[in-house]
Amino acid sequence: MIRFENIGLRYGLGPEVLRDVDFHLVPGSFHFLTGPSGAGKTSLLRMLFMSLRPSRGLIHLFGQNCSDLPSSERADLRRRIGIVFQDFRLLDHLTTWENVALPLRVFGESEASYRDDVTDLLKWVGLGARMTAYPEVLSGGEKQRAAIARAVIGKPELLLADEPTGNVDPAMANRLLRLFIELNRLGTSVIIATHDFQLMDQCDAPRLVLHEGHLEIR
């Protein structure tokens, strides 16, 4: 499903952020990605999402070598991946509902086919009353939940979440974690980047630990 071979990453002429990262994740797995701030968690997720090319090494996603794919096929691969950005990236001129529905709209599905799904999901993440609100007026936690809803609405095969519980209280964090676990049970592979140990202790999942550029699985 995911295979990193000797990945190295540096930004420009800076120091190597990641060194000799080598791992293999099977379909349907559930992992936490952790490490101190600045260790390279976001960078690793961006490489998985093909929005960042490694300086060296090979990445295989869904059995394909991503470095030599044409852009249209990379777009197709991205459709199988849901991502929650650390800074949410909601579009300010669209309502919460429209933001969450955006991936399906981009995939060319008709609005009638997904209208109820989007509404149900928003209710599930506790945004039932905020569907017509614009991101500007949402709280940090509400934006986070909208971003998560957008990432999972397309039933991705791989879900990448960057600090998905950074802005919510422990009760909501648990609820969101249960959503991820539920998705995982339905077959989605999940990688959650976090330094929230309380969250990681909630479930018994292997941890990918980044430390000084190296990756270790515990």
Ligand X SMILES: Nc1ncnc2c1ncn2[C@@H]1O[C@H](COP(=O)(O)OP(=O)(O)OP(=O)(O)O)[C@@H](O)[C@H]1O
User: Dihedral, CA atoms, 106, 77, 126, 97, nearest 10 degrees?
Assistant: -10
Residue 193's H or E segment, with its range, is strand 189-193
Smallest gap from residue 193 Cβ to ligand X (A): 7
Binding flag, residue 79, another protein (CB under 8 A):
yes
Q: Which of 107, 170, 185, 198 binds another protein (CB under 8 A)?
A: 107
Among positions 7, 21, 42, 48, the unique one binding ligand X when judged by CB under 6 A: 42
Give the number of C-alpha atoms closer than 13 A to the C-alpha of residue 88, restricted to the C-beta side.
22
Which of 42, 96, 165, 184 contacts Mg ion by CB under 5 A? 42
For residue 52, which of 61, 42, 63, 60 has the smallest C-alpha distance?
42
Q: Tokens standing for 184? A: 């995982």
State the minimum distance, in angstroms, from the CB of residue 153 to Mg ion: 23
**Which sign, positive or negative, has the C-alpha torsion 188, 109, 146, 50?**
positive
- 150 lies in the site for another protein, by CB under 8 A: yes
> Binding of another protein at residue 132 (CB under 8 A)?
no
Q: Which residues bind another protein (CB under 8 A)?
A: 49, 51, 53, 71-72, 75-76, 78-79, 81, 83, 85, 89-95, 98, 101-103, 105-107, 111, 150, 154
